Amino acid sequence: MQRSAPRTRLTRILACAAVPVMLVAAGCSSDSDDSGKTQGQGKDKTASSASATPSPSQSTKTVDPARFAKLPEVCKSISAKTTASLVPKAKTKNGTPAVSSDLTSRGGCSWNGLDDKGVKGSQYRWLDVSFYRYESDAALGSGQDRAHENLAKELAKVQETPGAKKLRTVTATGIGDEAKTVTYQLRKTDEDFAYTSILVRTGNVLVLLSYNGAGYAGADTPSEKTITNGAATAVKEAVAAVAAANK
């Protein structure tokens, strides 16, 4: 292994989650005859009466209202103290916001940097967080249900990470309404990276957080426990920020 790796190899890649698939529901209704039957002559009278029998009116579908109407300012959803601890030498201390065409529905922010410890090697860290908010819609379902469905889709994407080794998924407790933690290892830039992704649903909002790191120039790869504990601390702050933004 060389003394240090070129920093150009530590490129930042923030993947935007896919826009949820929109489901279209179609309904039909029929008008009923006030009289309940029509007048006919001879043999047609019975048939006419049957065809005029009113059909039940279709009830209007209702869904629960979305719990949260706003998203927090993403780059401030995790405290500066926490980001400084998790990414000691972040290139941008205040975070780099992700491009979004609608900040009321989606947003993201990331921090990354290399902490050079001289002869003891270097430590690289990357932290990113994304928020997705879903409205309630009679055709698509409640915001909470839509967030639940998309949590499953995002979890499947993480679990299918190309090249992931020792991947493990567990249910995370005490965070939001439901949460999953995924840990795995990935070989990149000739180094072993430790990854933890935590996916949380809080009401009608998804919070997706990823934290990873690697040792360079002879430094050890951070332990799974170190990365997972750091990710848990950050995601709890991000979930709390959603509630705070809607007070």
Residues 59-92: tens digit of each pLDDT: 467 899 999 999 999 999 999 999 999 999 999 9
Q: How far apart are CA 130 and CA 158, in angstroms?
A: 14
| Ordered domains of the chain (ranges, CATH) | 31-60 (no CATH), 64-245 (3.40.1000)
Task: Show the tokens assigned to 127.
Answer: 């932290």
104, 26 Cβ separation under 8 angstroms: no
Q: How far apart are CA 211 and CA 197, in angstroms?
A: 6
User: E-assigned strands of 143-223?
Assistant: 165-171, 178-188, 191-202, 205-216
Strand partners, 139: none
List C-alpha distances in Å: 90 to 82, 152, 183, 236. 12, 31, 23, 21
- φ, ψ of residue 45 to 5 degrees: the values are -65, -45
- φ, ψ of residue 243 to 5 degrees: the values are -65, -40
Of 116, 215, 197, 207, the closest CA to residue 160 belongs to: 197
Task: Show the tokens assigned to 172.
Answer: 């995370």
Per-residue b or e along 179-191, where b marks 16 or more CB atoms closer than 10 Å to that residue's CB = bbbbbbbbeeeeb
**pLDDT score of 75:** 98
- In this prediction, the residues of the chain whose per-residue pLDDT falls under 70 are 1-60
Q: How many residues does the chain have?
A: 247
For the chain, give me the number of helices (H) and strands (E)?
A: 4, 7
**pLDDT score of 15:** 37
**pLDDT score of 61:** 73
Distance of CA 52 to the CA centre of its chain: 52
How many Cα neighbours within 13 Å face the side chain of 221? 15
Strand partners, 142: none
Q: How far apart are CA 78 and CA 85, in angstroms?
A: 11
**pLDDT score of 100:** 92
Q: How far apart are CA 184 and CA 167, in angstroms?
A: 4
Task: Show the tokens assigned to 238.
Answer: 């991000």
**pLDDT score of 5:** 41
Kindly report the number of other CB atoms within 10 A of residue 63's CB atom.
Answer: 17
Q: How far apart are CA 232 and CA 88, in angstroms?
A: 17
